[in-house]
Chain A
Amino acid sequence: MAEAEESPGDPGTASPRPLMRDLKAVGKKFMHVLYPRKSNTLLRDWDLWGPLILCVTLALMLQRDSADSEKDGGPQFAEVFVIVWFGAVTITLNSKLLGGNISFFQSLCVLGYCILPLTVAMLICRLVLLADPGPVNFMVRLFVVIVMFAWSIVASTAFLADSQPPNRRALAVYPVFLFYFVISWMILTFTPQ
């Protein structure tokens, strides 16, 4: 992970260039997720900033208002965070135990970045929910979530599937499917109040 460096001459001032470089790298990876191709950029220069930004955004949008009682409402911020990171770590461990040749952080990076389509779906759903509730509203949200879910799966398997021997590919991809399915379900059943 690239870190901001201070030039030795000025104590206390971090030069802005490394930050821009990091942001550009993150943005480039976002593009790679949105248009998945067989490229190694995501794997080679992994970083966890992108997944962190996406996870925080998603958790902020999904959390219930503090005014609601305990029983109702959606998940807490911490629940979403735990599900995403714990899920990603579990899938990575599973992939490595099955004999995949991808490193731990590379796998976390890929899984985290591929949440981007679902975060976009969450944004769209929140916008759609500003309109009147009803069956049309629900169908639109369902359609958007399904499309983005498929996009996430395609993007992540494009990067992860090659790291497994062919007779175990399905075993490694199934947990990814489950992971994004759970996130999609949380997005679909979100109702603000």
Chain B
Amino acid sequence: MASADELTFHEFEEATNLLAETPDAATTSRSDQLTPQGHVAVAVGSGGSYGAEDEVEEESDKAALLQEKQQQQQPGFWTFSYYQSFFDVDTSQVLDRIKGSLLPRPGHNFVRHHLRNRPDLYGPFWICATLAFVLAVTGNLTLVLAQRRDPSIHYSPQFHKGISIYCYAWLVPLALWGFLRWRKGVQERMGPYTFLETVCIYGYSLFVFIPMVVLWLIPVPWLQWLFGALALGLSAAGLVFTLWPVVREDTRLVATVLLSVVVLLHALLAMGCKLYFFQSLPPENVAPPPQITSLPSNIALSPTLPQSLAPS
């Protein structure tokens, strides 16, 4: 296993060097659905005959390598080791991928630079789990803080709502992957990402929402909207920068529509987090009406009211 790793990295260095020399080049990935470890071949762009010989040599080398890899590891999807290959990550790799998703940069493609064609399922699964639980807990916490004023309010942490996070993080990549594969039939140049890579992109992009939700505990409405906008911006930027190389080969119309749909869905997720998970208090339970100004408890109460109750 170690030697295959070394070989993979060597290839990738070549690829990045070639990319640096010819900025118009695009990378294609020959990863198949069943082999999560594909390899990268560099197809030099419309420059024509430049590097054609190099390309042929590289391709034959890489074809041999691919065959070897396929012979080595092709467990069926019913075996446990098939799924184990998706969890073949170390702590440092997961942290690196999280950092990569937090700081999206225009040139850096998340899939190429951080995933390096080895997508994992650990990140998406546990980031979704953390986000679901953090949402349930903070949504509950806003009620706990209000409950101290009025002990008759009950609440329960609503963990079953976490299923909606999982639905987003797995169904939307499925739709996106399906759409990209369909478009690939139209134009054959760019291979789209595999399903797992798409799931990874989405899963890691959800990480930035976790600190955002924790910061939403601060009961200042404009600050909450600010944090929401920041997190959404970072996350959507990461998605767009990663999807851009795949989508730019397509017609302009399809590209813009696709990217705007992706950003819109992400914005809906952020809004949904706010509205769906943060329960609003039943208004009749919050005791002192704001008109009675003689009560000193008003002044203590109003800053801690959850934002869903607008003080009239």
Residues in A lying within 8 Å of B, measured CB to CB: 64, 68, 71-75, 79, 83, 94, 96-99, 133, 135, 138, 167-171, 174-175, 178, 181-182, 185-186, 189, 191, 193
Contact = CB atoms under 8 A, between A and B. Distances in A.
B133 A74 contact: no
A99 B122 CA distance: 12
Interface stretch (B45-53, B103-111, B151-159, B186-194): B151-159
A77 to B, nearest CB: 13
B283 to A, nearest CB: 14
30 contacts: A71-B154, A72-B153, A72-B155, A72-B156, A73-B154, A73-B156, A74-B156, A75-B157, A79-B159, A94-B122, A97-B83, A97-B87, A97-B122, A98-B122, A99-B88, A135-B148, A167-B92, A168-B90, A170-B91, A171-B89, A171-B90, A171-B91, A171-B122, A174-B126, A175-B126, A175-B129, A178-B126, A178-B130, A181-B133, A189-B144
B250 to A, nearest CB: 36
A186 to B, nearest CB: 6
* Chain B facing A: main interface SS: helix
Nearest to A186: B157
Interface in B107-149: 122, 125-126, 129-130, 133, 137, 140, 144, 147-148
Interface of B: 80, 83-84, 86-92, 94, 122, 125-126, 129-130, 133, 137, 140, 144, 147-148, 151, 153-157, 159-160
Contacts of B156: 64, 72-75, 189
B151 A99 contact: no
A167 B84 contact: no
B155 A167 contact: no
B29 to A, nearest CB: 24
A3 B71 CA distance: 46
B126 A182 contact: no
Contacts of A193: 154
A96 B122 CA distance: 12
Contacts of B87: 94, 97-99
Contacts of B153: 72
B159 A182 contact: yes
B133 A182 contact: yes
A75 B159 CA distance: 10
Contacts of A191: 147, 151, 154
A178 B129 contact: yes
Nearest to A171: B91
* Chain A facing B: main interface SS: helix
Contacts of A186: 157
A184 B113 CA distance: 39
A72 B154 contact: yes
Nearest to A138: B148
B90 A167 contact: yes
Nearest to A182: B133
Contacts of B130: 178
Nearest to A62: B156
Given A97-B84, A99-B84, A178-B133, A169 B91 contact: yes
Contact of A83 (B83, B137, B159): B159
Nearest to A74: B156
Nearest to A87: B129
A167 B147 CA distance: 44
Contacts of A185: 137, 140, 157
Nearest to B137: A185
Given A94-B122, A97-B83, A175-B126, A189 B155 contact: yes
Contacts of A64: 156
A92 to B, nearest CB: 13
Given A94-B126, A97-B83, A171-B91, 16 more contacts: A71-B154, A75-B157, A79-B159, A94-B122, A98-B87, A99-B88, A133-B151, A167-B90, A168-B90, A171-B89, A171-B122, A174-B126, A178-B130, A181-B133, A185-B137, A191-B147
Nearest to B151: A133
